[in-house]
Amino acid sequence: MNANTSRQNPAEGDESAQLLFRTARDLPTGRHQFHRERLMDRIHNKQQEERTATAAPPKARRFRLPRAAIALPAIAAAVAGVVVAGLAMSGGGGAKDGGVATGPALTTQIGAATTKGVPQLLDQISLAAADGSHPAVKPGQYIYIDSKTADTSLKTVNGKTTVAVNELHRRQVWTSPDGTKGWLIDPTVNESPEGETLSLPDEQGNAPKAHLNSPSYDYLAKLTTDPDELLAKIYKETKGHGNSPDQEAFTTIGDLLGESYPPAGLYSALFKAAAKIPGVVVVQDAVDAVGRHGVAVARLDETSGRREEWIFDRKTHVFLGQRTVQVRKNSGEDAPIKPGTVIYTSAIMNRAVVDSMKQSPSQAG
């Protein structure tokens, strides 16, 4: 399966290429690489519909999710071995229909936000990131992340649009330091329970160069750890992307906290940089995908009305996961997404450096 897919004009390609173009066109500029799995999943669903459906096929429109990059931070000790609680939201448990679950919407209480204490909290998080165990990744090794995720989409059948959910599920990713080799196991993406390769180059021989919006560990290891210079680079390289420069900068840093593996110095610097972004707030009680309560660093996207939240353990300040919550009323085609709807939620269960593809930390010598 391609790690990259050409975004040609739909008039110039086959039907699968047309579907990919229409899906990619709806994504914010610069996000296509990270939604590769979602896009290819849609192509597969379209092909399945053509083979099996006689009625009008359902059309699912996903919201923008935190990017599924293919690397990660190794703060495993603090979150490994955690007992998985039930999803602390209503919803989930929906049956699959055309690749999209049809269960009720994920919802949560909208936590109160305040600007009070933002610099102090991010300073504490930065210190915890610098002090945590963070081994370097050697050539031939792989970065491993084990997480739980769920997300919401809009589904249109016979002209009627409703909310559908990809229920809470396990996601495992392995990535080489240079980003050219990888493996993914995710039941919402893979046809086989054994997963599929993310290795590059693709069938056309393309091996894209790593950059800020598609980083490898080797790329991140070369970035500046000066917070001001780092933030300036983020603003420069994401200019024109997203709904606003400040929101895009916040989102870019958040993306690097999920399936990315910033070296210790950079990991700490990211939080110091985030403290300089206008509009950042603290949410005193936020819940990750497996029900762990923590304190969140967050920012409201004024255009979409959604709040992106980075959730940390209240005592240790270890990163637990992320979620995106609709906090303002929608109109038009997005009206079914009510305030309190969880657009995306994740929980990091384990992060580690392992010696081979598909090896778990428990199998490591």
Q: What is the pLDDT of residues 27-52, one digit of tens each?
A: 333 333 334 444 444 444 444 444 44
Report d(CA 248, CA 127) in Å as an integer: 24
Lowest mean pLDDT among 29-43, 98-112, 154-168, 343-357: 29-43
Report the pLDDT value the prediction gives residue 159, as an integer from 0 to 100. 85
Q: How confident is the model at residue 12 (pLDDT cuts 50, 70, 90)?
A: very low
Does the pLDDT value for residue 187 go beyond 80?
yes
Report the pLDDT value the prediction gives residue 334, as an integer from 0 to 100. 86
Mean pLDDT, range 307-314, rounded to an integer: 98
Report the pLDDT value the prediction gives residue 101, as an integer from 0 to 100. 55
- pLDDT (tens digit per residue) in 96-151: 443 445 556 799 999 999 999 999 999 999 999 988 778 889 999 999 999 999 99
Lowest mean pLDDT among 12-26, 57-71, 205-219: 12-26
Q: What is the mean pLDDT of the chain?
A: 77
Report the pLDDT value the prediction gives residue 79, as an integer from 0 to 100. 33
Report the pLDDT value the prediction gives residue 255, as an integer from 0 to 100. 93
Lowest mean pLDDT among 172-186, 188-202, 305-319, 347-361: 188-202
For 287, phi then psi, to 5°, come to -125, 130
Q: Report the share of the chain in percent with pLDDT over 90.
A: 55
Give the three-state DSSP class for 117.
coil
Mean pLDDT, range 266-283, rounded to an integer: 97
Mean pLDDT, range 79-91, rounded to an integer: 35
Q: How confident is the model at residue 365 (pLDDT cuts 50, 70, 90)?
A: low
Mean pLDDT, range 79-89, rounded to an integer: 33
Q: Which residue has the higher pLDDT, 280 or 77?
A: 280
Mean pLDDT, range 336-347, rounded to an integer: 95
Query: Cβ atoms within 10 A of the Cβ of 25, count?
Result: 10
Report the pLDDT value the prediction gives residue 266, as an integer from 0 to 100. 95
Say if CB 197 and CB 70 are below 8 A apart: no
Q: How confident is the model at residue 213 (pLDDT cuts 50, 70, 90)?
A: confident
Read off the amino acid at residue 314.
R
Which residues neighbour 144 within 8 Å (Cβ) at sequence distance 6 or greater? 72, 172, 173, 174, 350, 351, 352, 353, 354, 359, 360, 361
Q: Which residue has the higher pLDDT, 20 or 273?
A: 273
Q: How confident is the model at residue 202 (pLDDT cuts 50, 70, 90)?
A: low
Report the pLDDT value the prediction gives residue 103, as an integer from 0 to 100. 59
Mean pLDDT, range 257-267, rounded to an integer: 90
Does the pLDDT value for residue 94 go beyond 80?
no
In terms of C-beta density within 10 A (0-12 exposed, 13-18 middle, 19 or more buried), how is residue 27 classed? middle
Report the pLDDT value the prediction gives residue 82, as an integer from 0 to 100. 30
Report the pLDDT value the prediction gives residue 38, as an integer from 0 to 100. 41
Say if CB 220 and CB 262 are below 8 A apart: yes
- What b/e readout covers 72-95, taking b as 16+ CB neighbours within 10 angstroms? bbbbbebbeeeeeeebbbebbebe
